[in-house]
Copies of this chain bind each other. A is one copy, B any other.
Amino acid sequence: MAFDPATLTFNEAGLIPAVAQDHATGEVLMLAWMTAEAVRRTLETRRATYWSRSRQAFWTKGETSGHVQELVEMRIDCDRDALLLTVRQTGPACHTGARSCFFTKVEAGEEVVEA
């Protein structure tokens, strides 16, 4: 069946959450948001392109930092309301310089930030 991004389920803001996972290591790198058009652009260019909720603009990951995400595979969940991207990540995924945005863990009730 031909894939049409318009058949995904978007929230009231027209967005769907997309999880980016490192193709090589399986590490979950980040969660960001896409519009139908961002999904289209990502598939067409093979560069992860999100929707920046703060800037209200398309955001091709790595456009300014060079830390691009090359799309390996896009997956849709059973409810069609979440996406999983496996990517080849250049440099760190997080704007803080961390490899993954999920660098804080909860351990015995405390927040522990990993180096």
Binding site for B on A (CB under 8 A): 1-3, 17, 19, 21, 25-28, 30-31, 43, 73-79, 82, 84, 94-96, 98, 101-107, 109-111
Contact = CB atoms under 8 A, between A and B. Distances in A.
Contact of A76 (B25, B77, B111): B111
A86 B48 CA distance: 24
Contacts of A84: 28, 102
A98 to B, nearest CB: 7
A101 B74 contact: no
A75 B77 CA distance: 22
Given A75-B102, A96-B78, A31 B3 contact: no
B43 A109 contact: yes
